[in-house]
Each structure stands twice: as structure tokens, then as C-alpha cells.
């Protein structure tokens, strides 16, 4: 699930679908789920464990005060580079993956941009 679903954001958009396609792409690259959570909180911790802690700008986009406060209370987590997670993957695939699996839905690649991405031209 996209972070905004788990954090009770009100404004859903196509960016949720982009997140889902990013999860599928990651699974195609590794043959396993990228965020295998047992429940929402576990899945959110898997997301943060890979993407790192959200920036203050990203936190400000979270409408739910409890969710924002929870994220702010967590210890700082570094981002794991995509090429460390998927060392055999094509660089263009990793670029697209990073643009799809972006914490802030407002910064996530759009459907149109994703379809025009160089990785999909191959």
C-alpha cells in the first residue's frame, strides 16, 4: 500500500497506482515483495527502512496529525540506494523505480512521465 493510504491522507490520486506499479517493478527485479509487511505499521516500517525518513516537507503533506507525529517520533533512517538493493538491475529501471516509489505522492512521477521514461523505450 502507498504511504498516503496508510497515513490516512484524504486526497487520493493516480499516484497510488504509480506506487503499486513501482512495487510490481521492484518485485520483478528481485523476485520478492519489496515491502513485505504483516500489517500497516510493519509495512510502513519496511518502506521507511528503504526510502529513509521523510523530509520535513514530506511530513508537512501528511494531514493526519497523529500519523505525522508518529513519523516524527521515529529515529532517523537513511535511504538505501536502489543499486545496493538491486545490484544487477538496469540503471534506467532503477531510475524509474525511484521515481515511482517516492514517499510524497506530489513528488512521484506521473503516469504520462512514467510511460515516456527511457526504461520503457527499450
Packed helices 15-30 and 91-100: angle between N→C axes, nearest 10 degrees: 140
pLDDT confidence tier of residue 12, bands split at 50, 70 and 90: confident
Q: What pLDDT does residue 26 have?
A: 98
pLDDT for residue 14 is more than 80: yes
Domain ranges of the chain: 3-121
pLDDT digits (tens, 9 = 90+) for 49-102: 999 999 999 998 888 899 999 999 999 999 999 999 999 999 999 999 999 999
- E strands within the chain? none
Are the C-beta atoms of 50 and 79 separated by less than 8 Å? Answer: yes
Using DSSP's 3-state secondary structure scheme, residue 70 falls into helix
Backbone angles phi and psi of 12, in degrees to 5:
-90, 145
Q: What pLDDT does residue 110 have?
A: 97
pLDDT confidence tier of residue 13, bands split at 50, 70 and 90: confident
| Matching CATH number, 3-121, of 3.10.450.750, 1.20.1090.10, 1.10.510.10, 3.40.630.10 | 1.10.510.10
- The gap from C-alpha 47 to its chain's centroid, in whole angstroms, comes to 7
Amino acid at each position: 500500500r502507498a504511504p498516503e493510504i496508510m497515513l490516512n491522507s484524504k486526497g487520493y490520486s493516480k499516484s497510488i497506482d504509480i506506487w503499486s506499479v513501482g512495487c510490481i517493478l521492484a518485485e520483478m527485479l528481485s523476485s520478492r515483495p519489496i515491502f513485505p509487511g504483516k500489517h500497516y505499521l510493519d509495512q510502513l516500517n519496511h518502506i521507511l527502512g528503504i526510502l529513509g525518513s521523510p523530509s520535513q516537507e514530506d511530513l508537512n503533506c501528511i494531514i493526519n496529525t497523529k500519523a505525522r507525529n508518529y513519523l516524527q517520533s521515529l529515529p532517523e533512517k537513511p535511504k538505501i540506494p536502489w543499486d545496493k538493493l538491486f545490484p544487477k538491475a538496469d540503471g534506467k529501471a532503477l531510475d524509474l523505480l525511484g521515481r515511482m516509489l517516492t514517499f510524497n505522492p506530489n513528488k512521484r512521477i506521473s503516469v504520462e512521465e512514467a510511460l515516456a521514461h527511457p526504461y520503457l523505450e527499450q
